[in-house]
Amino acid sequence: MCGIVGVSAAQPVNQLIYDALLLLQHRGQDSTGIATDENGSFHMAKVKGQVREAYRTRDMRSLLGSTGLGHVRYATRGSAASEQEAQPFYVNAPYGILLVHNGNLTNTRELQQDLFHVDRRHLNSDSDTELLVNVLANELQSQLSGLELDPAQVFTAVSRVHERVEGSYAAIALIAGRGLLAFRDPFGIRPLTLGRRIADHLPGVQRDEWMVSSESLVLESNGYELVRDILPGEAVFITPDGELHMQQCAKNPRLVPCSFEYVYLARPDSTMSGISVYDARLRLGDRLADTVAAYTPLGDIDVVMPIPDSARPSAMQLAQRLGITYREGFYKNRYVGRTFIMPGQAVRKKSVRQKLNALGTEFKGKNVLIVDDSIVRGTTSKEIVDMARMAGANKVTFASAAPPVRYPHVYGINMPSRRELIAAGRKIPEIARELGADHLIYQEVDDMRDAIIEGSDVTDLEMSCFTGEYVTGTVDAEYLRWVEANQFS
């Protein structure tokens, strides 16, 4: 999971990209990068850490140009500590290309071999983004016969990328002096949205300005009208003067967005594939309430409490549906990062108590139902149960708005190993004992799917970490063993 943004405007875009990355910070905190194109010359700043602390005034002043892109990174491949693997990645031919990417490629071994033995391209990192930009560059090079570049050549190159690359990828690229390119994998697993505004605020200028971003809230917050999601397999090419070209580049595209975006990753004020994230989380609470009522004596619950922030809508809706008092018993230090996306189990465990504090007056002598968006490794959940007990809770029932996470996630979320997933190989009562909870309730898989897609045109979701069924069809047992041996969370 990462956050990406690209802008084509009639004015300098450095501040606009910076502001957009602040809004996407929840999608990655390991590193960040901004690059701009000034009449064919690239300017770039890549740094470790979060956006607000990372960039200096001198960095921003150097980022000249009216076309640009930005990235916040949450490492799913390579090293979170490596500044070299911060995005964007650059290749100098053809023209010069910079690329940012959200997702995870699943045929990296084959691509590495082909790029070296067939395409004669050198790779200098373990990042799959470097693989993707080199595949794009190679396919674009093969389409060229002169200096000029037309959209048809770009779209043919993207079609070839789709044929060679497997996995999930939403990508944005700058082609020096030629324009901005955005494209999405044929299943649309990772999100990418398109926004438009008219540049009539500058004297003598009348043109369209465009923004592409991982989440719609970035467009709306910066005064762009949400046009629509970029479709699975589709590519968008925007020339330096704001002319938009769009084309479907995949043979059999099918929309299967990632369910975890709606459960946890995305901000609630975003809309993805026509589905409001906030409304989806309310419906998850409705469905979870039915399961709680079926498996838990409601007389044993005095109050419902969310784990802030992503579980709050589900907890509110659950409490309302069951007629149980809703209380805020945990308070969040907003200056600590999201524990799920922190690298390393020891860091996550330490950060839980730094991030959350239990208000004793809300717990003392009460039977509490704690609602969280999901339970992945169990690190956070176990600490939360302990905190509730220390604050005086009589009984602790823990409920997850998502089903048990039993399988690795290979499409852009850092869950490479079943060994670290608390639900893998365990029944629910065993998980409850591991967490120290009196009762444990999970959302049913069908209920989660139905709650998210209700009222939309979406017919299916990517739910592999819950079901073990991988939508790309090429993820097998051998690949999962390789991932488990070679990738670390």
H/E segment holding residue 202: none
What share of residues in the chain are helix, strand, coil (percent, to 5)? 35, 25, 40
d(CA 90, CA 463): 33
Residue appearing with tokens 């409601």:
298
| Coil, helix or strand at residue 339 | helix
Q: In sequence order, which residues have a C-beta less than 8 Å from that of residue 310 and are 6 or more positions away?
A: 263, 264, 268, 281, 373
Q: Which amino acid, one-letter code, is at 166?
A: E
Six-digit token pair at 387?
């905190």
Which residue intervals of 299-364 are DSSP H helices?
Answer: 312-322, 345-355, 360-363
Please provide the DSSP assignment of 258-316 as one string.
BHHIIIIIS-TT-EETTEEHHHHHHHHHHHHHHHHHHHS-GGG-SEEEE-TTTTHHHHH
Query: Does 309 sit behind a cis peptide bond, omega within 30 degrees of 0 on the bond before it?
Result: yes
**Active-site annotation holds for 249:** no
Give the phi and the psi of residue 28 in degrees, each rounded to 5.
180, 135
d(CA 153, CA 140): 7
Q: Could you tell me the sign of the dihedral formed by the alpha carbons of 132, 137, 143, 148, in that order? A: positive
Q: Which residues are bridge partners to 34 per DSSP?
A: 45, 70
Q: Are 71 and 54 in contact (CB under 8 A)?
A: no
d(CA 178, CA 144): 13
d(CA 41, CA 43): 7
Give the phi and the psi of residue 69 in degrees, each rounded to 5.
-150, 165
Q: Which amino acid, one-letter code, is at 398?
A: F
The residues carrying an active-site annotation are 2
